[in-house]
Amino acid sequence: MRRSHLVSLILVVVFAAASLAGVLSAGWTPVLGVQLQGGVEVVLRPADEISDEQFERAIEIIRNRVDAIGVAEPDITRQGTQVVIQLPGVKDKQRAVDLIGQTAELRFRPVLQMFDPTDPEQLSAIEEAMNQGQDGDIGNENSVETTEPEIPDSRASLSDVLTPPQEDDVSAMVALLGTSGQTGFVLAPADVTGEVIEEAAATFQGQWIVNVSFNDEGATLFDQMAAANYGRQVAIVLDGVVESAPTINAEEFNGQAVISGSFDEAEAKNLALVLRFGALPVEFERDDVRTVSATLGEGTLRAGVIAGLVGLALVGAYMLLYYRLLGLVAICSLATSGAILWSIVAWLGESRGLALTLAGATGIVVSIGVQVDSNIVYYERIKEEVRRGRAVRSAAAGSFRAAFSTIIWADLASLISAGVLYQLTTGTVRGFALYLGITTLIDLAVSFFFMRPLVILVARRLVGERPGRLGLSNMAGGVIR
């Protein structure tokens, strides 16, 4: 009995310390939400009813765009009929908001040239060609850019050559990469956009191919383009990425086209999806757009941390004052839970990209009360038994069952509410529910495996028959009543 207590105590401490040490040495820190470090949070909702397949595709498109902006910890989730996009720490906030909300447009661009993005010499040549091309095509609009002194033999880097998303206009000549990033394309202005497509499907006929059919108006437009580019490649571009670049093998398609190549099943299906849903762009409404400046975020974080620490200190002081040695046990329990919680939050941030939001942090502050209550329920039981004349050590061991049953039933109510809120709500409330649930589970585990053995040990070793050390005053008489 006593041995198992000690083992459980040591295991919990080792577990908490090891997980904390592991997380710290791995350099994992909790990912802070938008409200705590600044950034952008957007909630989008499709303007019309759309299928699940379309929805998933739209989220995929948004994810690609966010990746293109280069955000460290983007969190993009579908919550019911909405998409919640959180970009903590994003630099150019306005651009991020614009980019996310845009409607996806599929473009067919004739391929002018292909290049190897890793070859510096080709890059320099492409850059030069691009600048000339722009001079020729667009005239003086971009004169500010082109009048900059050019050093002919400077090595152009890839980012200089590629067209940034905001300059990716239908009527402009652009330089873009393929899906794998291995091939670069110089592309002519788009004559045809995805609106021409009626249906696209992947089928297997000896090999995987994609059948495309065009609408009436689209068939004419597509044939015009095909005639002009017969024998050459035309790139299918979505969101600045060349999804495929098939060669045009006919001058007239009459509303039907077949794209073949060395596709595997997944590639063919993906291309069909791109053609279909890129062509029928999902229009999103912005339900909620929030940008938080870095200073405001840091201020909130600092205020929260200081307030949390002050609160903890006050709670600790009160517990010490009231329960003496048992108060110390309560503080140790809090510290253990804190170490485990920190590890979990850091792990969630690192592996799932799940950020600690302001609401989540509030859930944690609130959980301090729940955690301490588990201690109080137990201690009050012990005190009651001792008042009835029971020895401290047997009271400590004997009252845990009743106390823990109370703790379980009460915590179960918390878990039910956390579960319901997590399932049925979005955004703020959901984040709160998640951390409320996590901390409640930690509370149950720590109460059973840490608080109980520690209290029993303390009662045996340190208190003996001096209940004053537990905050039981003037108990010399033993039984009261």
Partner 1 sequence: MNFSLKAMYRGENSWDFLGVSRRVLAGSAIVVLVCVVAIFVRGLNLGIEFEGGGVWEVPALSQVTTDDLRDAASDAGMGEARVQRITGGEDIFRVRGELTPDASAESVVSKLAEAARVDAETVSTRAVSPSFGDEVAGKARRALIVFLILIALYLTLRFEWKMALGALVAVAHDIAFTVGIYAIFQFEISPATVVAFLTIMGYSLYDTIVVFDRVKDNERSLSAKSRMTYPDLANVSLNQVIMRSVNTSITSVLPVLSLLVVGSLFLGATSLQEFAIALLVGLIIGSYSSLFVAMPVVSELKSRESHWAEQARSAGVLGQSNAIEDAAAVLAADRYDRSSPPRPRKKGRKR
Between residue 326 and residue 365, which ones bind partner 1 under the rule CB under 8 A? 358-359, 362-363, 365
* Contact call for residue 388 and partner 1 (CB under 8 A): yes
In the complex, the smallest distance separating the C-beta of residue 170 from partner 1, rounded to whole angstroms, is 23
By beta-carbon proximity to partner 1, the closer residue of 246 and 398 is 398
Give min distance, CB of 278 to partner 1, in A: 25
User: Contact region for partner 1 (CB under 8 A) — 125-133, 194-202, 214-222, 367-375?
Assistant: 367-375
Query: What is the rounded distance in angstroms from the CA atom of residue 465 to the CA atom of residue 389?
Result: 11
Choose among 21, 102, 48, 98: nearest CA to 339. Answer: 21
Q: Which is nearer to partner 1, 100 or 315 (CB)?
A: 315
Nearer to partner 1, 18 or 310 (CB): 310
What letter represents residue 242's amino acid?
V
Cα 303 → chain centroid: 24
Q: Residue 248 in contact with residue 226, Cβ under 8 Å?
A: yes
User: Residue type at 210?
Assistant: V
Please, which residue, 139 or 409, has the CB nearer to partner 1? 409
Q: Which of the stretches 110-118, 223-231, 239-247, 389-397 binds partner 1 when contact is defined by CB under 8 A?
A: 389-397
405 counts as binding partner 1 under rule CB under 8 A: yes
Which residue lies nearer to partner 1 by CB, 31 or 463?
463
Q: DSSP readout, 188-227?
A: PPPSEEGGGEEEEEEEESSSEEEEEEE-HHHHHHHHHHHH
306 binds partner 1 (CB under 8 A): yes
Residue ranges in 65-124 that form contacts with partner 1 under rule CB under 8 A: 80, 82, 93-94
The correct pick among 70, 147, 205, 409 for binding partner 1 (CB under 8 A) is: 409
Minimum gap (Å) between residue 290 Cβ and partner 1? 5
CA atoms of 318 and 471, how far apart (whole Å)? 12
Three-class secondary structure of residue 50 per DSSP:
coil
C-alpha distances (whole Å) from 23 to each of 202, 261, 339, 436, 442 are: 46, 47, 10, 21, 17
Indicate the residue among 232 and 290 with the shorter CB distance to partner 1: 290
**CB crowding 228-249: b at 16 or more within 10 Å, else e:** ebeeebbbbbbbbbbbbbbebe
Q: What is the DSSP string of 252-316?
A: --TTEEEEEEEE-HHHHHHHHHHHHHHHSPPPEEEEEEEEE-HHHHHHHHHHHHHHHHHHHHHHH
Of 422-451, binders to partner 1 (CB under 8 A) are 423-429, 432, 436
Question: Which residue in 387, 441, 445, 469 binds partner 1 (CB under 8 A)?
Answer: 387
User: Of the candidates 188, 200, 319, 455, which one interacts with partner 1 according to CB under 8 A?
Assistant: 319
State in angstroms the smallest separation of the CB of 296 from partner 1: 5
Q: Is 47 in the site for partner 1 (CB under 8 A)?
A: no
* Contacting partner 1 within 125-184 (CB under 8 A): none
Integer Cα distance of 99 and 165 in angstroms: 8
